[in-house]
Structure 1
Amino acid sequence: MDPTLIRFSSSFPIKHNLLSKHLHKPFSLSSLSLSPNLRSSRISFKVDSHGSKRNDVEFDEVAYEAERLSLDAKARESMAETSERESRDGDDPKAWKWEIRNRIWDLLEARNLAQFPRPVHHRIPNFVGASAAAKKLSELEVFKVAKCVKVNPDTPQKQVRFLTLNGGKKLLTPQPRLRTGFFSILESGMLSPSTINEACTSAGVAKYGKPIGLDEKIKVDLIVIGSVAVDPKTGARLGKGEGFAELEYGMLWYMGAINDSTPVITSVHDQQLVDDIPFEKLLIHDVPVDIICTPTQVIFTNTNIPKPQGIYWDKLSPEKLSQIRILRELKSKIERENGQKLHCGPSEKLPPTAQWRY
């Protein structure tokens, strides 16, 4: 099969100087069209018969990963400050969440139940036995029959992403912290056998994934979500505290890609199971889980906690809205459709990574 010219349209803004840094080779401006306000761009490249990109234009994984790690470090530092501030204030409604998170992070480190990257604080922990938990997840009937699986981009769920692609399913993965766009979708047909493992990494998603927008017609059959702590009796779950899993869920709900019956699964270490999450204190946008997979067991929570019904704009700060383009697009779209303005919630201090965008 002859190579075919594909035109790739990014779903996020690209600035010329940053784009140049992420390409190994010079490129012709005839292949790149930039609008005056630099809001969109197009890059032409070729793919072979297996769907793999050729070297006409190469994605600089080293530069991408170095920048991602640097910005993530700044985000964790900011989250640590937030944790300390909210934990000090006994009246802060989020203080109890930080108490549980910090206890689990400390426990995993103290018992050496964590893998790279470490320390696990202010991360979805990459726990020992993550691959075993992923295997149990892949043996579930809901996974076997799923055609499209949404999986979080964190390290402990990398094997779930691999098993999804290796099983011939569509993989939907968000850009970390929604920083450079929205979701990317990957299919095994877009990859060669030698690139499937690479495509399961953050850089690989950016390199091989197809960006999608809010108008994409897609049905997600299963959601896999990372957790810091989860209650097996109620399905109540705590993430690392930034709220992006909830935003992703809400946007998929608005798109019609999911509904209340779409199963939500988390994979964690057994030591991340807790019994002291007061589910009555959870917020309306917190996402409960239906199934928990650990290295040793599968737990069906039979949760009675309601699942979110879209984005709750009164819980979303103006700062986060201003820095995530896809949220602004969704808000404007809903306001046009409903003919009324949506009001945001209280202000917050954003981690530096939320401000980074191409």
Structure 2
Amino acid sequence: MGSDQAKHEVRDRVWDLLERERAVREPGVHGHIPDFVGCERAAELLASLPDWRSAQVVKANPDRAQLPVRARALREGKLVYMAVPRLADERPFYELDPDRLPVEVATSKAAEAQAPKVTPSQMRPVNLVLCGSVAVNRQGARLGKGAGYSDIEFALAQEAGLIDASTIIATTVHDLQVVSEFVPEEEHDFRVDLIVTPSEVIRCAPSRRPSVLRLERFAADKIAAIPVLAKRASD
């Protein structure tokens, strides 16, 4: 079985389990980062950790499951960079500055209307990366929804010098999304350092952080749809 097929099977099993156990807020979770029941509690648990308290700059995914974390970061005065959905802009991150914008910009819709977009070169170094996951094991190997956006965001930030060995990579998930099985990994996949569920904090090791963004792994239509990749391909 190939890596892509193995990843797909893990995702499908977890999506099915979440729906069967009514652990997501709405049905139709397949193909998405699950908006899991208890995401507010997971955000509270993350915020109790020293890793969170010391972080002043957070880079976050735009999915609904991580909205409580983004909102809490803004309420606590942290600067948040949130990915533009599908990275569909040559400036692929929203800058959510709590000194200039209301907490409501933590939602993608409000951020689109009110927040400035920035390039990695305009961003400050990141202390904590928050990513959404479909499944993750206790070693920190994770699966997103399969579109590859988190990997691209991470690589762009790392290439720009915004992420280093001291940056914490965290994900918030439902307990049912933490799997015991082997999660296939490829060269471009990163691992998380910290998993927070509504009931548990899991510290992971060893770390895994890809060093560069490789265009050759993307199809031509994918490159064309993401301006930062299209520009790189044309240079």
Instruction: Specify the TM-score bucket, using the shorter chain as the normaliser.
Output: over 0.9
Provide the secondary structure at the position in 1 that maps to 2:77.
coil
Residue 308 of structure 1, CA deviation: 1.1
1:308 to 194, 210, 223: 210
**Counterpart of 2:164 in structure 1: which amino acid?**
N
Query: For residues 120 and 17 of structure 2, what CA distance do their matches in structure 1 show?
Result: 40
| 1:299 match | 202
Residue 331 of structure 1, CA deviation: 4.6
Alpha-carbon distance change, 178 to 135 in structure 1, aligned in 2, over 3 angstroms: same
| 1:277 match | 182
| 2:230 match | 328
Query: For residues 249 and 331 of structure 1, what CA distance do their matches in structure 2 show?
Result: 18
Provide the secondary structure at the position in 1 that maps to 2:121.
coil
User: TM-score of the superposition, structure 1-length normalised?
Assistant: 0.63
Query: For residues 277 and 225 of structure 1, what CA distance do their matches in structure 2 show?
Result: 20
- Any idea what the Cα deviations from partners look like across 1:53-75, whole Å, max 9, x if unmatched? xxxxxxxxxxxxxxxxxxxxxxx
Count of matched residue positions in the alignment of Structure 1 and Structure 2: 234
| 1:216 match | 122
Residue 328 of structure 1, CA deviation: 2.5
Show structure 1 runs of 5+ residues with no match: 1-90, 336-358
- Any idea what the Cα deviations from partners look like across 1:322-355, whole Å, max 9, x if unmatched? 12111223455xx5xxxxxxxxxxxxxxxxxxxx
Residue 98 of structure 1, CA deviation: 1.0
Show structure 2 runs of 5+ residues with no match: none
Runs of 4+ in 1 over 6 A off after TM superposition: none
What does residue range 259-278 of structure 1 map to in structure 2 within 5 Å?
Answer: 259-278=164-183
Query: For residues 284 and 124 of structure 1, what CA distance do their matches in structure 2 show?
Result: 22
Contact 1:149 1:221 in 2 (8 A): yes
Query: For residues 330 and 253 of structure 1, what CA distance do their matches in structure 2 show?
Result: 16
| 1:235 match | 140
Contact 1:236 1:305 in 2 (8 A): no
Contact 1:252 1:258 in 2 (8 A): yes
User: TM-score of the superposition, structure 2-length normalised?
Assistant: 0.94
Query: For residues 97 and 190 of structure 1, what CA distance do their matches in structure 2 show?
Result: 41
Structure with higher Rg: it is: 1
What does residue range 185-196 of structure 1 map to in structure 2 within 5 Å?
Answer: 185-191=95-101, 195-196=102-103
Contact 1:267 1:294 in 2 (8 A): yes
Residue 260 of structure 1, CA deviation: 3.1
What does residue range 121-140 of structure 1 map to in structure 2 within 5 Å?
Answer: 121-140=30-49
State percent identity of aligned pairs.
Answer: 35
